[in-house]
Structure 1
């Protein structure tokens, strides 16, 4: 299995916010944005593993700025780290009002995907090798984010989250 870099999975998706995408305030509906983000993240994950993928989790999503009717949404997605059968995908979402020339970050999130074979069983995914400083930082933080997801999903006991515990420990001792 060939190892890959985050740039191998880079996906950029653009959408124009049309009336059917907005709420009564003429802002992009959050559900529509989440739908677009899921598609962009799935494409990035598929590029990484060359397999069908399914969404396993979506981290906290905060809507930082409203996107208005007529704006363009640009979603950048890339795999930040792979584990055995899963991949973490980071998304950065930008809004742009072309007539005014404004460009703003409106959202970011992490999605997790699992690769499947033809029978729908999970399968191993390629390792990822970060190259840039930012990619290495995201790669290093992915294990802590994964442990937090597993704890919140009831799949890991807090005491087993060694990377998370290290954040709250001083020289291997409790800070209490």
Structure 2
């Protein structure tokens, strides 16, 4: 498989923040922003792999600044690192007040997407290579983030086993 530059997967999405998108504080629902992040991530990963993808994990979504009703939200995402069938995608969200022009980064996130074939089985992806200083910085930290993901997944499996499927899991 050929290698592809990070920039080839760049995906940008801009939306107005409308009243149905906001909570009682007049700011964007966190879940709505998370859905936007997942959407941008899946498009970037599919663009890189030229295959269908599924979300394997979201490392964290760090909400840094509020997004107010009437603002815009612009998300940029691209593949920063690849393994055999998985891709790490970095997504940055920027809010903008269209009247004042003020822009703030409101969130950042890393997601892992897995390419799948027509039988919904993991499928190989092309390697990615960084070109800019920012891409190189993200690329260099990817293996460390992958190790954290692996550890967190193991802890999640342990927790799932401990709590099981019985409802309710809490006892009086």
Fold match by TM threshold 0.5: yes
Q: Deviations over 1:83-131 (max 9, x none)?
A: 0100000011100010111111111010000000001000110001111
Match of 2:168 in 1: none
Match of 1:125 in 2: 125
Q: Deviations over 1:9-28 (max 9, x none)?
A: 00010011011100011100
Q: Deviations over 1:5-63 (max 9, x none)?
A: 10000001001101110001110000000001100010000010000000000012121
Unmatched runs of 5 consecutive residues or more in structure 2: 156-172
**CA-based RMSD:** 0.9
Match of 1:173 in 2: none
Q: Distance in 1 between matches of 2:5 and 2:92?
A: 18
Match of 1:108 in 2: 108
Match of 1:7 in 2: 7
Runs of 4+ in 1 over 4 A off after TM superposition: none
Q: Distance in 2 between matches of 1:111 and 1:19?
A: 28
C-alpha displacement of 1:136: 1.4
Q: In the alignment, does 2:64 pair up with 1:64?
A: yes
**SS across alignment from 1:2:** coil
C-alpha displacement of 1:81: 0.4
Q: Taking structure 1 as the reference length, what is the TM-score of the superposition?
A: 0.86
Q: Distance in 1 between matches of 2:60 and 2:123?
A: 26
Unmatched runs of 5 consecutive residues or more in structure 1: 156-176
Q: In the alignment, does 2:93 pair up with 1:96?
A: no
- Pairs within 5 Å for 1:18-97: 18-97=18-97
Q: Taking structure 2 as the reference length, what is the TM-score of the superposition?
A: 0.88
